[in-house]
Structure 1
Amino acid sequence: MAVALPGLVLVTAIALWGVAVASAQVACADAVRAGARAAARGEPVPAVRTAVARAAPAGARVGVRRGVETTRVEVEVAVEAPAAGGLPAITLRAHALAVTEPGVGGP
């Protein structure tokens, strides 16, 4: 019985980490979609970056590149594993493209 309890705690911690990873991936996808919508409306790059940063998980890196035809929005975040599990962090990434509105300046 004494051996089963630490194992149960470890399995529970890893399961909760899995939920945190899934939640962070959904947040990343939502963030890039918010940025793509802002870019499609023709908002300036700083406004697009702000929209993405607001929706992204804490500690995420945000990238916005506006080209002549498209704007690319990227989010990357590392989700740390539970210390007891001894697993490495998982890096999650999401990106979206939006057509650059006519008349909107390039990069």
Structure 2
Amino acid sequence: MIGRRRTGRCRRSGTTGWTAGGRRESRVVDRVVGGDRGSFTAELAAGLPALLLLLLTGLTAVNAVSTRASCLHAAREAALAAARGADGSADGLRAAPPGAEVSVSIDGDRAQATVRAPVRALGGRLPRITVVATAVAAVEPGATEGSR
């Protein structure tokens, strides 16, 4: 190969193997080193945004589940307080996550409390998710009509 240059670096390495007759054979193989340089960087650059989106989605889901558990706790507190004749909305707001709305209604012998809370998706420009939890409690016989 006179007058031509190879692209990439060349390294000679010896390989050994067995022939069909059971003898050891040694060959010299030319390998081009560095032919795929930078491929890891390109793959990382292509895959990193997808990995980041997956991470943000997972963290938002964990945040939503945690907020829903808090809303359910607040709804139970509000329903029990309303069933006992106290102000269920105030008790629900004390236990609710920040920014939550608590609504309590009494229908016959049941007190129902609903808590709605916004969950901010991780990433400032994404829309908010609203989490809702509802709890029902039986009105106690000793609860007075005037306190409801």
TM normalised by structure 2 equals 0.60
Give the AA of the match of 1:95. Answer: T
Counterpart for residue 119 of structure 2: 79
- Deviation at 1:4? 2.0
In the other structure, the counterpart of 1:22 is 65
**In structure 1, what is the equivalent of residue 131 of structure 2?**
92
Contact 2:89–2:103 under 8 Å retained in 1: yes
Q: Which has the higher strand share?
A: 2
Which protein is bigger by CA-based radius of gyration?
A: 2
Give the partner amino acid of 1:52: G
Tell me if structure 1 keeps the 8 A contact 2:60–2:122.
yes
Is 1:101 the counterpart of 2:140? The answer is yes
Partners of 1:67 and 1:100 within 8 A in 2? no
- Measured in 2, the distance between the counterparts of 1:50 and 1:63 equals 10
Contact 2:79/2:104 (<8 A) preserved: no
Amino acid at match of 1:34: E
Q: How far off its partner does 1:87 sit?
A: 5.4
Rounded to whole Å, the distance in 2 between the matches of 1:27 and 1:91 is: 13
Q: Kindly state the Cα deviation for residue 83 of structure 1 after the two structures are TM-superposed.
A: 2.9
Match of 2:82 among 36, 39, 56: 39
Residue-pair matches, total? 103
Unaligned runs of 5+ in 2: 1-43
**Structure with a larger share of its residues in helix:** 1
Q: Residue 31 of structure 1: CA displacement?
A: 0.8
Give the secondary-structure state (helix, strand or coil) at the position aligned to 2:130: strand
Q: Which moved more, 1:91-100 or 1:22-31?
A: 91-100
Instruction: State the AA in 1 paired with 2:129.
Output: I
Give the drift of 1:64. 1.2
Q: Find the aligned partners of 1:2 and 1:97 in 2 and give their Cα distance.
A: 51
Cα distance, 1:57 vs structure 2: 1.4
- After TM superposition, the runs of 4+ consecutive aligned structure 1 residues lying more than 4 A away are none
Identity %: 37
- Aligned Cα root-mean-square deviation (Å): 2.1
Partner-residue secondary structure (3-state), 1:94: strand
Q: Which has the higher contact order (CA 8 A, sep 6+)?
A: 1
